[in-house]
Structure 1
Amino acid sequence: MISIETDEYRFATKNKDFYLDVIQSLKETPKRLSSKYFYDKKGDGLFEAIMMSPDYYLTRCEMEIFTCQAKQIVERITGQNSDFELIELGPGNCAKSIHLLSALVNANVSFNYVPIDISENVISELQSFLPENAPDLQFNGLVGDYFDALAHHCLLPGARKVVMCLGGNIGNMTIAEANRFCKALRSYLQPGDQCIIGFDLVKHPAIIKQAYDDRDGLTREFNLNLLARINRELDADFKIDQFDHYCSYDPLTGSAKSYLVSLSEMSVNISGVSIPFEKDECIWTEISQKYSRDQIHQIAADNGFIHVVEFVDSKSWFMDALWTVV
């Protein structure tokens, strides 16, 4: 067990979990770092650039769904009782969900929007973006882990809930983790509540691999920025130029994975804790899971949901599934 009551640990309380996660994960075999820590201010900007990359198809596909099918989604989530809370987990810059929010506002639907994100920067920017782009929208942004924020958020008494989890959120989990996530999410919901969850569908392996090894090196920079953040916030001495980005995709399992590769033997100091690296040793930083339709239906059925309808782009590369709580 790692103690934080040491002379070396000089960080504010908000960095305590970050510090413990990093030290514990880098002492595992194989080494790991959580992808949730990608998103500092620079990481947010890099991810926005990735979403604009011609190689990163996910955003374009889901954007097509929300720009072309927002009216149909509104019809499915309002029903007879239109009073509800629309809770979005990981809204990012709201570029996709703003189309749904605008459609709801234009249809005079009574709802409250609750974006939840681990990045304080994301929520801060939405405080400016949303009033300018959806002036009649009622919203309340929350910073924190999804379930921590849900647990502490005082939901409107009796209000139906629609939870959105778009983009790569559930894709950044293994299949087992995705099932645990959906089971946990179900525990916060009541029968009749709904979820809109984005799934990247299986397709030609070369298309998938290129999305995580883009020609402009944006994903590489995004991955390496995690080490820069650890250096800055946890008083570490990673030599960034001694690590490289590597990605792989296994079409049999549907798992795309990203790694940071040590280019030399070294020791890295993180606030007085020394972490050894062998040459060519890898840190696993991210998974991007791809799903078949059958797998998506099964996850819903196994975790207390009914798979009601699916919205897909014109290439059938991406799906936003609408589930209702049993």
Structure 2
Amino acid sequence: MAASLPDQSSTSQPHSSISNPKNEQRTTNNEELAEHVRQGLSRQPKALSSMYFYDEVGSRLFQQIMALPEYYPTRTEFEVLTRHRAAIAQALTPADGQPFHLLELGAGDGLKTKILLRELLAAGTRFAYAPVDISPSALAGLADSLRAELPSLQVEPLTAEYTQALAQLQGQPGRKAVLFLGSNIGNFPPAERQQFLGALAAQLSPDDRLLIGFDLRKDPRQIRAAYDDAQGVTAAFNLNLLTRLNHELGADFDLAAWEHFAEYDPLTGAMRSFLVSRRAQQVHVAALGQRFEFAAWEAIHTENSYKFTLPQIEQLAAAAGLRVQQVFQDEQQWFADVLLAPAE
């Protein structure tokens, strides 16, 4: 889940027009948030970034979402990593057994990554784990928890944007094995997704590897249910964005006048979420000294989550100068962690 307008200060990269996944609390200043809202509600169609979903309440709601029976992505990727952990660890490790850097873009709490970290440590593999984020506090918290839980793990946090982190390691010996898990790649619109993959590929040496999580296309009803659960937790999560704007920017959104709407397009693989105005209304945002007009049933776009086919993944990789080496899937073939290498 997630979405965003362009924002170079985001703690949960990547940056895109409707893209920015992170299941952790986002800290920001009111000036940044206010400018984002001014831009997002002045455009047509209107859009707000779901990276701002993750205040304290939003983060708690997202934890509930991940435990819902409808929300399959998290537990399915857990299954993939658990089922194939030995093969994935071997694929990430250089054939000559030399030490390497394991970078993770957007590590979050590292819960899924620990499956691979434990496998690598148990095999006696020589590597350093480098979680990457632009938030020093988020990295410090993750590093402290890893050192306590996996004391033999060499943790080297990198405070940088994604491509900058890869560039920092260009001159160092050894392989870079890069993780981008959680189907975060699906939060990019198509053009920006291709641009992002190309930027990553440009920083990779021939022996480097890239493991990306892709949520695969499946029954459209199942996908839609994952973003519009029967208990209404996802609706509360989406609407909480308006509550946050009321609290932090002095906005006067009447939550009873808004509803969550989610729809999946099986032609494009796009899962989109919206906040829809139930009536014609004006909303005043005190921090901006500005009013915004909404027509009845006008929508604010808050999220994209694209789903993929395996041939589409191969095409994306090829266009970015990458090639698919291995595909690791769950038993039902709902999700794939795909190992990519620079094209020869």
Q: What is the Cα deviation at residue 185 of structure 1?
A: 1.5
Correspondence 1:198 to 2:213: yes
> Which residue of structure 2 lines up, in the alignment, with residue 189 of structure 1?
204
Matches of residues 31-50 of structure 1 in structure 2 within 5 Å? 31-50=46-65
Q: What is the match of residue 224 of structure 1? A: 239
1:148-179 Cα deviation digits (max 9, x unpaired): 6x278567723421111111311111222211
1:289 alignment partner in structure 2: 306
SS of the equivalent of 2:327 reads strand
Instruction: State the alpha-carbon separation in 2 of the partners of residues 286 and 45 from structure 1.
Output: 18
The corresponding residue for 1:277 is 294
Alignment deviations for residues 71-101 of structure 1 (CA, whole Å, 9 cap, x no partner):
1101101022442221112222222111001
CA distance in 2, matches of 1:37, 1:147: 23
- Residues 102, 238 of structure 1: CA spacing in aligned structure 2 closer, same or farther, 3 A cutoff? same
Deviations 1:223-249 (A, max 9, x none): 122223333344433333332111001
> Out of 206, 210, 227, which is 2:225 matched to?
210
CA distance in 1 between partners of 2:302 and 2:244 (Å) = 14
Q: Cα 1:66–1:13, aligned 2, differ >3 Å: closer, same or farther? A: closer
Structure-2 residue corresponding to 1:9: none
Cα contact 1:44–1:122 (8 A) shared by 2: no
- Across the two proteins, how many residue pairs are aligned to each other? 314
Matching residue within 117, 142, 157 for 1:101: 117
CA distance in 1, matches of 2:169, 2:89: 24
- 1:89 paired residue among 105, 121, 124: 105
* Residue 7 (structure 1) aligns with: none
Greater CA drift, 297-306 or 72-81? 72-81
3-state DSSP of counterpart to 1:177: helix
Q: Which runs of 5+ in 1 are unaligned?
A: 1-11
User: Percent of aligned positions with the same letter in both sequences?
Assistant: 41
Structure 1 residues 135-214: aligned runs within 5 Å:
135-142=151-158, 146-147=162-163, 150=165, 157-214=172-229
Cα distance, 1:15 vs. partner?
A: 4.9
8 A Cα contact 1:40 1:121, kept in partner: no
Q: Secondary structure at the match of 2:154?
A: coil
Q: TM-score, normalised by structure 1?
A: 0.87
Cα RMSD, aligned residues only: 2.4
Shift of residue 190, structure 1, vs aligned partner: 2.2
- Counterpart selection for 1:258 from 248, 273, 295: 273
**Alpha-carbon displacement from aligned partner over 1:39-72 (angstroms, at most 9, x marks no partner):** 3333233222211111011111100011121111
Question: Which has the larger displacement, 227-236 or 131-140?
Answer: 227-236
TM-score by length of 2: 0.83
How far 1:305 moved relative to its partner?
0.8
Unaligned runs of 5+ in 2: 1-26
What SS class does the counterpart of residue 297 from structure 1 fall into? helix
Asked whether the equivalents of residues 85 and 156 of structure 1 are also in contact (C-alpha less than 8 Å), the reply is: no
SS in structure 1 at match of 2:246: helix
